[in-house]
Amino acid sequence: MATPSEKLAESLSTLKALQDKGVVAIRASEFSRTHRERLLKAGFIREVMKGWYTPARPDEPAGESTGWYASFWAFSANYLNDRFGEEWCLSPQQSLSLHIGDWTVPKQLLVRTPKGGNKPTQLLFGTSVFDVRLELPPAGDVEVKNGLRIVNLPAALIGYAPGQYVDHADDLRATKIEPLSEPRDKRIERHLKAPACRDRCRRDAIIRVQPDFDVGPLARRAVVDRQQIPLQRQRILRRLGAPGDRDRRNRGAHEQDAHHHGLS
């Protein structure tokens, strides 16, 4: 008859096989009830929510959250992929945070999915996942990073809430926006106006630049469609300056107009 240590070793082998596959979010059905209860009692797994577990350290004190925060993103990726397949992505705001390397665990992870229930799913230590029932962005606007389906940088900037441009100005300065150097890229051309005319020498279309998010070109003029278009992201921050700054600019403009017309 097997000893308790041998039984535990057998259960640990089952757990290791799952970990070797990169599984962090473990469904109850992944192993037998006997193995699950044995590992749970020994402290090698802990319950995140009903039917879902994650590996744990037996020597970790009760109430210690370090292990959970270290595994949060991997657990979320496994859980969301298992639940929604490829029909989900993180919100633009959360996607932008990951683009700039901010992996701080949020209190509530916002997820877009057509299968969403519009309600939060409680996890450990006050964290949760909120799956919002929304259509997904175009497939070309979604990329995978560390198993997480996120909105790419241009689309994340488009979907960013306007008020947060001011509140998170430092985050935006950390983003890297590449010049639109491929004029025939569909992501660019779908936002361009129809050609106004043709260049006589090279027969290229002369077009007016229409950037697909609030980032203006450095040169405000028509450009030949083979020409590179450098962008200036700081234009966003200047346009969304503090209300006091806008008031001062408006007062200055009115004073200049009044002086010009001889009214002061």
Can you give the residue ranges of every domain in the chain? 4-59, 77-173, 186-232
- Residue 47, pLDDT score: 95
Distance from C-alpha of 228 to C-alpha of 57, rounded to nearest angstrom: 54
Burial readout 56-67 (b: 16 or more C-beta within 10 A, e: otherwise): beeeeeeeeeee
Q: Which residues contact 18 (CB under 8 A, 6 or more apart)?
A: 26, 30, 31
**pLDDT score of 33 more than 90:** yes
The CA-based angle 202-205-207, given to 5 degrees, is: 135
Burial readout 157-178 (b: 16 or more C-beta within 10 A, e: otherwise): bebbeeeebeebeebbeeeeee
Given pLDDT bands bounded at 50, 70 and 90, which one contains residue 172? low
Distance from C-alpha of 40 to C-alpha of 55, rounded to nearest angstrom: 9
Lowest mean pLDDT among 29-33, 83-87, 100-104, 208-212: 208-212
- Residue 11, pLDDT score: 94
Q: Which residue has the tokens 């020498």?
A: 201
> Which among 21, 54, 24, 20 is positioned nearest to 39, based on CA atoms?
54
- Residue 256, pLDDT score: 52
The residues with which 89 forms a beta bridge, in sequence order, are: 112
Q: Across the chain, what does the average pLDDT equal?
A: 75
**pLDDT score of 17 more than 80:** yes
- The pTM of the full predicted model, rounded to 2 decimals, is 0.63
User: What are the pLDDT digits (tens) for 52-71?
Assistant: 999 999 998 888 999 999 99
The CA-based angle 21-25-29, given to 5 degrees, is: 85
User: What are the pLDDT digits (tens) for 238-254?
Assistant: 444 445 555 555 555 55
Q: Which residues contact 68 (CB under 8 A, 6 or more apart)?
A: 54, 124, 125, 127
Sign of torsion, CA 183 185 188 194?
A: positive
* Amino acid residing at 132: V
**pLDDT score of 18 more than 60:** yes
Given pLDDT bands bounded at 50, 70 and 90, which one contains residue 202? low
